[in-house]
Structure 1
């Protein structure tokens, strides 16, 4: 017995959903394919590649000026000690100063930071005059003011400032590499490697795949095309004069935008928009080790959704209001790519809804309740093209993940795609509602990620 008009409506809705999702997924697939082609062309023409450097020669270099590291902290008692001790050990340079931003109402983190200050004279603890959490940008601006005080006391200006988070494991060669690279750029970003996290092969693991592809392909293409390099907030360095120019442009409020959820992303693009050169620098040692910042990423669904909500809200939604559109075709292309997160979340939601509808219709057809959805030539073509694009995208992701972490992680990269998509859907919805609340006057809150594990601790225990 057929369902009559209800069944016909269900079939029609399924047809329209398939057409809508098919068209927009194909547009997205062509966009990604364009980046793939650009990457391959730039590699073949020698304009893009991962350089090789002798680790011993680089480590033997002497810094050409003072270097400061900014580490903003709020409730980071579990990881800040490991981060700073590792950095001090692998960067023994006397020109280095690490400034840790803390809050008086976070006594546990403050106590660890004070202990680090006593252990090594290169550490400075800076207590924010406001109770936390304020925002990451506000904490960074507090560190900037402390840097100015340090320079006044020393009677000389620092050469560069590095930005890191409390959970990072810095690369032993990064400091010297920054020192060389800043001779030719005002802002330099190194790759970030999300590490496979014990006990969370899928939630934390999907970051492994995303960063492997983004920081080996997308960011390198963006840099080669001159589209401006956004900051990742970690593993990046800015020349001191560029930092002063950004601070001056913000009317003395500090170089970091306190009303932005992704001040690090904006920071790199602000430098590029002021006409100063930015660089995404990808280098390996002669032995093949990538010079990158390594870290664990969230291993729980809720934590991952909160983190990606901030990224989507700050980059995709606030970006329209705050930084507009850059100059040049390449910059606008990547601006558009950066801001597609909410639309991508909607499309993924429709796609998974469509899969559920197809399963339901398959069951209904088995009982003779509805007719088969008949695909015309256009839909046949869309389905075939999108299936081919899915296979291609899965292969590309597996290749980039496998290059850094081996074939097992490459195979898992394909299996983790539904996890990545689900988190994107949840984060996109949450970001949209958060953005709408801010339009009604709600304050912007530093909704930071909790960090429990650190790769430097695991490395010591393994040794």
Structure 2
């Protein structure tokens, strides 16, 4: 067998492996699309003909049902935490709340930045350990501080809201949580990454992924009765629900050895039979923009790979062992989708390698070499079907990105899919390496930038 024939044979096998995987994943995604649009059309034709669409501005009523606690864990965040706290205080206004900000004893810069904001609504909490540990470990310190504050005030918080040190909160966020938290154990609002003009490809691919996942995926997830995984920001957990989680783990509600404590939190609440909600609600009547948290995501390749490796490692690898498989059919299905990242990376690697080999063989053939690419009828049919699926997927990505960021970003989302695929493959490699080494989880955070604002 010649080298060209061997390359053609390898390319064909790789392509068949990848094509079967893409076909199955595309069918899975198509079911999500069908459920989303069916639900949307049904609600438009029935519910919204009888009832006006709710908007968050109507929730701005004074209530005396208790106060809100906001947890903000911080490690090495001196560059952003001062701006974030001042902006949050300004946007939240005069509502009854406290910002619990955690920092480490070996991080004096962040400590100074937190204390630079002199406001009685801020409660600095020093973690009595050298950082970084894990975000969950820091959050458990904030939970202990909350108990102390509740004891001193003589009243319990209504809910615990989670945010990161780089978050730009929405002014109506507290009003939404205050009005709806009695209906569910946890509420997740959308997260909308900000466009980074200096990183249109790496930073921009987060915009595309969140536009689709927080515009469609979580909507379908709730519709099929699956638990809503929390994003760690823009989410609120009812106080009694948090107490139940704490009672299960010796007073520590957050899993200190987890890399994705926020994701696990929503699923653990669902496993207790408690309702979790995803809420997309316009700020004003007739307005397209929803109440959501905004922020910048990693803009460099290294930062994006590290962040996604943490997500994949915590959800797809460690999550399999930590959370297992439980619940009804919808829950099983969504956990399967959550954990398919490593397998998807394998299919992507096989597909790109097959394309590379075929490109070399095609080039050789164009120069007259007697090369048979070895693409049989079955593989040809599968490739054509996958091409149709890919066209649909590109249309979905374009549509959801354009709806959030505009037409131009919708067009950019199409080539950014390749960037996202490369980042995913590199992140899976990093996550697998860490998982196989079995090292203790640490807060592998990335550098943050707080957005410029004009409150």
Scaled to the shorter chain, the TM-score interval is over 0.9
Which residue is 2:412 aligned to? Answer: 412
Counterpart of 2:238 in structure 1 is 239
For the residue of structure 2 that corresponds to 1:46, the secondary structure is helix
CA distance 1:22–1:158, change in 2 (3 Å): same
Aligned to 1:384: 384
> Is the 8 Å Cα contact of residues 137 and 257 (structure 1) preserved in structure 2?
yes
Corresponding residue to 1:30 among 19, 27, 30: 27
2:102 corresponds to which residue? 101
For 2:323 and 2:164, how far apart are their aligned partners in 1? 24
Which of 15, 23, 30 is 1:18 aligned to?
15
Give the equivalent residue in structure 1 for 2:450.
Answer: 454
What secondary structure sits across from 1:257 in the alignment? coil
Is 1:314–2:344 an aligned residue pair? no
Alignment partner, residue 283 of structure 1: 281
Do 2:55 and 2:281's aligned partners in 1 also have CA atoms closer than 8 Å?
no
Q: How does 1:353-364 map to 2 (within 5 A)?
A: 353-364=353-364
Classify the secondary structure of the residue corresponding to 1:333.
Answer: helix
Q: Give the SS at the match of 2:182.
A: coil
* Aligned partners of 2:104 and 2:128 also within 8 Å: yes
Give the alignment's TM-score, normalised by structure 1.
0.94
Specify the alignment match of 1:64 in structure 2: 65
Deviation at 1:370, TM superposition (A): 4.5
> Which residue in 1 is equivalent to 2:141?
142
CA distance in 1, matches of 2:246, 2:34: 38
Partners of 1:132 and 1:190 in 2: how far apart?
29
Match of 2:208 in 1: 209
Alignment of 1:293-304 (within 5 A): 293-304=293-304
Specify the alignment match of 1:264 in structure 2. 262
Identify if the C-alpha distance between structure 1 residues 314 and 56 changes in structure 2 by more than 3 Å, giving closer, same or farther: closer
Corresponding residue of 1:6: 3
Q: Which runs of 4+ in 1 moved over 3 A?
A: 47-56, 60-63, 367-370
- CA drift at 1:49: 9.4
Q: Distance in 2 between matches of 1:32 and 1:128?
A: 42
Preserved contact between residue 83 and residue 169 of structure 1 (Cα < 8 Å): yes
Partner of 2:79: 78
1:40 partnered with 2:9? no
Deviation at 1:12, TM superposition (A): 1.0
Q: Can you list the C-alpha shifts for 1:74-99, whole angstroms capped at 9, x where unaligned?
A: 01111111211111111123511000
What's the secondary structure of 1:159's corresponding residue? strand
* RMSD value, Cα: 1.6
Task: Classify 1:445/1:10 alpha carbon distance in 2 versus 1 (closer, same or farther; 3 Å).
Answer: same
The aligned residue for residue 158 of structure 2 is 159
Whole-Å separation in 2 of the counterparts to 1:410 and 1:336: 28
Give how far 1:459 is off: 2.4
Across the two proteins, how many residue pairs are aligned to each other?
449
Q: Secondary structure at the match of 2:378?
A: helix
Q: Which residue of 2 is the match for residue 347 of structure 1?
A: 347
Q: 1:124 to 1:308 in 2, by over 3 A?
A: same
How far does residue 291 in structure 1 lie from its aligned partner after superposition?
Answer: 0.5
User: TM-score when scaled to structure 2?
Assistant: 0.96
* 1:8–1:370 CA contact under 8 A, matched in 2: no
Structure 1 unaligned residues grouped into runs of 5+: none
